[in-house]
Structure 1
């Protein structure tokens, strides 16, 4: 069995109130900028530093940007938590970790409209980074993110959720 290409994955569409209204392929969702769901997982180490990942240049949105969260779109038949667990396993090679739900947020820009559920978890690694999705990753203190963002871009939806995190 061949794995489904990302563009062919079936994603859940939602309305402005985050109520499911249908499903389409990821490709159509991106082309038409349709509102969808995504899970964001903030991975902290026991020192309180956040694991950030540099998105692959082949990503369909924000290629080459730093991402504060592992995660991705919620597929048909998945809950936010199911998607979060799948993404942690696929992107970082970790499983069996307790997820702490933090909050939901809506984000919109010229390329993206998404209802995200933000989770946090604790892991010191080691991580097995998914080559197709992540070029590199490292732990960083929350207070250093703004400084790095002056030199290298971070995903705008990630920066929005960072502003809501308790310090």
Structure 2
């Protein structure tokens, strides 16, 4: 879905301008996204298999939930909304633990220029997988994996979305710090 996003400077500050997500990706305009990593007390993480129709990294396993922050939307509200849309789970702002902000500049083979400021969150998974509902336009499957998969470099780029700039290492360390 093409949605309106706030355009940011290369330092992550608001420009006061908006654009469609497709335009931001075409022109390489900076914008905000959210990543929510669900974990369990028994050292598992929830990964989603990106839908086969996705423009980037189709059919690869990825962060539990991710999405774009809509124009004018509060970061935490975007995270809550994306969780509800992608896996059908209702969470509150109190459930989210912000663990960082990451600037990524990725040029995809199909020409998409993905210049994002990713707001990163952890959230404890308190429901069983059968209680979750996948958004078919975004997600082909969801599964729990041992958190150690984040360190398994043989999986990155073939089974999972590539580990850009040691992103998975950062997430691994943050999850292990709270378990």
Same-fold status (TM-score > 0.5)? yes
Give the distance between the partners of 2:64 and 2:8, measured in 1 at CA.
22
Q: TM-score, normalised by structure 2?
A: 0.81
1:17 and 2:14 correspond: no
1:117 Cα deviation (Å)?
0.7
- Structure-2 residue corresponding to 1:133: 138
User: CA separation of 1:150/1:91 partners in 2, compared to 1, >3 Å: closer, same or farther?
Assistant: closer
Of 141, 149, 152, the match for 2:156: 149
Gaps of 5+ in 1: 1-5
Give the distance between the partners of 2:34 and 2:73, measured in 1 at CA.
11
* RMSD of Structure 2 on Structure 1 (CA): 1.8
1:117 and 2:119 correspond: yes
Give the distance between the partners of 2:139 and 2:157, measured in 1 at CA.
21
Deviation sequence 1:47-89 (CA, Å, 0-9, x none): 2211000111222332222112302010011111111000000
Give the distance between the partners of 1:65 and 1:29, measured in 2 at CA.
23
Native 8 Å contact 1:65 1:155 kept in 2:
no
Gaps of 5+ in 2: 109-113
Q: TM-score, normalised by structure 1?
A: 0.87
Structure-to-structure mapping, 1:10-159, within 5 angstroms: 10-21=4-15, 22-97=17-92, 98-111=95-108, 112-125=114-127, 126-145=131-150, 146=152, 147-149=154-156, 151-157=158-164
